[in-house]
Amino acid sequence: MLAMIRKEFRQVTRDRRTLAMLIVMPVVLLLVFGYAASFDVDEIPTVVVGPQADQAAERLPDLFAVESVDPDETAGDAEQVLVAGDAHVAVVADSTGPTVLIDGAELFMAQAALQATTAMQAQVPNLSVEVLFNPDLDTSAVLVPGLAGLIIVFVGTLVTSMSVVREREAGTMEQLAVMPFKPKDVFVGKIAPYFLIASIDIVIVLLIGTLLFDVPFNGPVLPLALGAVMFLFVALGLGVLISSVSENQAQAIQLALMTVLPQVMLSGIIFPLSSMAAGVRWIGYLLPLTYFNQVAKGVMIRGAGLGDLLVPIGLLVLLGSVIFGLAVVRFSGQLRPAREKVTA
Amino acid sequence: MTWGTDRVTVAYGSTTALQEVSVDLQPGQIAMVVGGDGAGKTTLCRTVVGLEEIAAGAVRRPPRTCFQPETSGVWADLTVLENLQFVAGGYQLPPEHSRARIGELLEVTGLASAADRLGRQLSGGMRQKLGVAMAVLSEPDLLVLDEPTTGLDPVSRLELWSFINRSAQEGRALLISTTYVDEAERGDVVVALDEGRVLASGSVKSIIDSMPGRLFAASESLGARSWHRGDGWRVWSPDGVDMPGATPAHPDLADVVIVAALLSETS
């Protein structure tokens, strides 16, 4: 038995990368997720509009982080700010009495805002409160758009990386390199099935979400489709990049999980970004799922249009261009590394 | 036009995998690259087809060069027919020609009855035959096969060699690596490698004729320059002096490769 244990230890210590992952990554993950795992909402981005906006803004509790006060804007303007996701509470202080509009797409913020406004109603009896987009604060409505993103990450990153590494392990990648394919032919051919499968998966998830769990689909399809395609490019690019630095499928799985886990925890799907410690929150802002989640939630729950989602879609395009571009360069380089003098 | 390498050097960091290796082969010829593990056979094959970056020298290969890697290069999740069809598509063979060529290769390799079997369900011999069939499908001018017969049973080896010879007769140049010296004797040209360096090269006859000194047969080991062969021993005399207790023997390729290795060690 001792011989068996000794042999196992030798094997484990020989794979330095796995060993590092087994020892260092839990510590890193615990620290990162420890600071991220919080449902406590300390502040809610808020806009205040209407003729009495200044007075209303002064009387708001600290929970509401007032980002703008504009007496000239109307309830319609305020609602548009919430649709775009630029703030999650809007206070309309006009002649009909103060109204608090709460963004129901951000579950924990909405719950905190509701709690705070209920307390405020004791001092301001004519204060009316309205939860927009997801009035019942339905959990599945908030989670399903993010789940669609998670499926893209799973298929795009994990499965693609394994598929490319498998091809290399089997020695068939060398065949492809010698055949008269251009690297881009192999690249596109390799990822095309996963692109299609992930696209079908998204449609299935969203159909089940809307038909079975009554998740609303309030906005136009186009921005969501655009965001999904861009996000899919990022995920597929990540998959190919991971495969390019992995020697075998086990390493590819480990690395892929290292990109999937932070996206699950830090993209705002489960824990609100505003509840996270500032340093951890910035990691969230670097993750593509954060922006897909904003697009999906924006379209499905808030009914946002393309114009409202230009920032997250633009960032997905940027991330997609960088990551996909890097993946193409690395893949092409690895497929035909030789630069030798050849006489035909 | 001849294909091959001219004094090619390939290095992985500080390790030299190939050092000034030259191979020269003409259409219809078979060049055998023979050597033990780590000799540089796979690196040479990969270099010829353009998969390795070379530090010095030059590679001469025709535009249509095909390769069968050591792993056979068969896609495990595709059937025999699908593997061949994919390669035909990759080389953009006209559909009619492709169908005829695939049918012909299935017959020649004896894989017709296994056409619908998945790559992973094939025996080692069948998989290697399919690998060679895939490599030869597009009728390349140069065919590079990396250890196609390693691990095969004698019958499968013979069948594969019959197929390989047929390819050479069709005018193709073949570069084949092997660990078996007896198999290397089938080549028109032989390159014996050791630790990335050429121990001997040329035709089997020229290599044998070029052996310095003399070879003797003995019933027992006669020192450091002795090696076991069959039911007896071979002894090499570098200066050709008669060996007491040993009789003169005709060297074969295996003997000469061993002598070359001994010479290489002493130099």
Buried b (16+ CB within 10 A) or exposed e, A150-159: bbbbbbbbbb
With beta carbons under 8 A apart, name residues in chain A contacting B54.
338, 340-341
Locate the chain B residue with the closest alpha carbon to A186: B90
pLDDT at A36: 75
Which of A260-274, B90-104, B167-181 is predicted with the least confidence, judged by mean pLDDT? A260-274
As a whole number, mean pLDDT of residues A148-173 equals 87
As a whole number, mean pLDDT of residues B41-58 equals 92
State whether A174 and B63 contact (CB < 8 Å).
Answer: no
Pairing of strands A44-49, B189-194: unpaired
Which of A6-15, B90-99, B111-120 is predicted with the least confidence, judged by mean pLDDT? A6-15
Burial label, B9 (beta-carbon count in 10 A; 0-12, 13-18, 19+): middle
The Cα–Cα gap between B246 and B216 comes to 6
Locate the chain A residue with the closest alpha carbon to B7: A341
State whether B69 and A336 contact (CB < 8 Å).
Answer: no
Burial label, A257 (beta-carbon count in 10 A; 0-12, 13-18, 19+): middle
Q: What is the pTM of this model?
A: 0.78
Task: Please indicate whether residue B240 or residue B113 has the higher confidence score (pLDDT).
Answer: B113
Residue count of chain B, please give it: 267
Q: Indicate the residue type of A338.
A: A
CB-CB contact of A242 with A256 (8 Å): yes
With beta carbons under 8 A apart, name residues in chain B contacting A171.
69-73
Q: pLDDT by residue (tens digit) across A80-96?
A: 999 988 899 998 888 78
Residue B53 has pLDDT above 60, yes or no: yes
Q: What is the mean pLDDT of chain A?
A: 86
Q: pLDDT by residue (tens digit) across A178-234?
A: 888 888 888 889 889 999 998 998 899 889 988 988 888 988 999 999 999 999 999
CB atoms within 10 A of CB A282: 12
**Selected residue of B2, B6, B22, B67 to mutate for chain A interface (largest A Cβ count, 10 A):** B67
Locate the chain A residue with the closest alpha carbon to B1: A344
- Measured in angstroms, the CA of B186 and the nearest CA of chain A are apart by 26
Q: How confident is the model at residue A339 (pLDDT cuts 50, 70, 90)?
A: very low
State whether B69 and A171 contact (CB < 8 Å).
Answer: yes
pLDDT at A343: 53
State whether A342 and B50 contact (CB < 8 Å).
Answer: yes
State whether A342 and B66 contact (CB < 8 Å).
Answer: no
As a whole number, mean pLDDT of residues B55-80 equals 92
- Measured in angstroms, the CA of B264 and the nearest CA of chain A are apart by 29
Q: pLDDT by residue (tens digit) across B182-224?
A: 899 999 999 999 999 999 999 999 999 999 999 999 888 888 8
The per-residue DSSP string of A78-131 comes to HHHHHHHTS-SEEEEEETTEEEEEEETTSHHHHHHHHHHHHHHHHH-TT-EEEE
Q: How confident is the model at residue A35 (pLDDT cuts 50, 70, 90)?
A: confident
Task: Give φ, ψ of A89 to 5 degrees.
Answer: -140, 140
Q: How confident is the model at residue A338 (pLDDT cuts 50, 70, 90)?
A: low
Which of A26-40, A314-328, B155-169 is predicted with the least confidence, judged by mean pLDDT? A26-40
> Coil, strand, or helix at residue B190?
strand
Find tokens 């390989």 and name the residue: B164
Q: How confident is the model at residue B86 (pLDDT cuts 50, 70, 90)?
A: very high
pLDDT at A341: 46
pLDDT at B262: 87
Residue B66 has pLDDT above 80, yes or no: yes
Locate the chain A residue with the closest alpha carbon to B49: A178
Instruction: Provide, for chain A, the percentages of residues in helix, strand and coil under a 3-state DSSP scheme, each rounded to the nearest 5.
Output: 70, 10, 20
Angle ∠(B35,B37,B42) on CA atoms, nearest 5: 75
State whether B49 and A178 contact (CB < 8 Å).
Answer: yes
Angle ∠(B128,B132,B134) on CA atoms, nearest 5: 115
Query: Kind and range of the H or E element at A243?
Result: helix A221-245
Residue A342 has pLDDT above 80, yes or no: no
Instruction: Please enumerate residues of B whose Cβ is less than 8 A from a Cβ of A.
Output: 46-47, 49-54, 57-63, 65-67, 69-76, 87, 90-92, 134
Closest partner CB to A344 (pick from B52, B63, B76): B63
User: For residue A259, which of A280, A241, A247 has the smallest C-alpha distance?
Assistant: A241
- Measured in angstroms, the CA of B49 and the nearest CA of chain A are apart by 7
The Cα–Cα gap between A76 and A83 comes to 10
> Number of Cβ pairs closer than 8 Å across A and B?
75
The Cα–Cα gap between A261 and A283 comes to 12
Q: How many helices (H) and strands (E) does chain B have?
A: 8, 13
The Cα–Cα gap between A234 and B137 comes to 37
User: For residue B131, which of A189, A171, A187 has the smallest C-alpha distance?
Assistant: A171
The ipTM estimated for the assembled molecules is 0.82
Q: pLDDT by residue (tens digit) across A272-331?
A: 887 787 788 888 899 999 999 999 999 998 888 898 899 999 999 999 999 988 998 888
With beta carbons under 8 A apart, name residues in chain A contacting B91.
179-180
As a whole number, mean pLDDT of residues B165-171 equals 91
**Selected residue of A172, A176, A181, A182 to mutate for chain B interface (largest B Cβ count, 10 A):** A172
Instruction: Please enumerate residues of A whose Cβ is less than 8 A from a Cβ of B.
Output: 170-172, 174-181, 336-344
Closest partner CB to A180 (pick from B47, B90, B134): B90
As a whole number, mean pLDDT of residues A124-135 equals 85
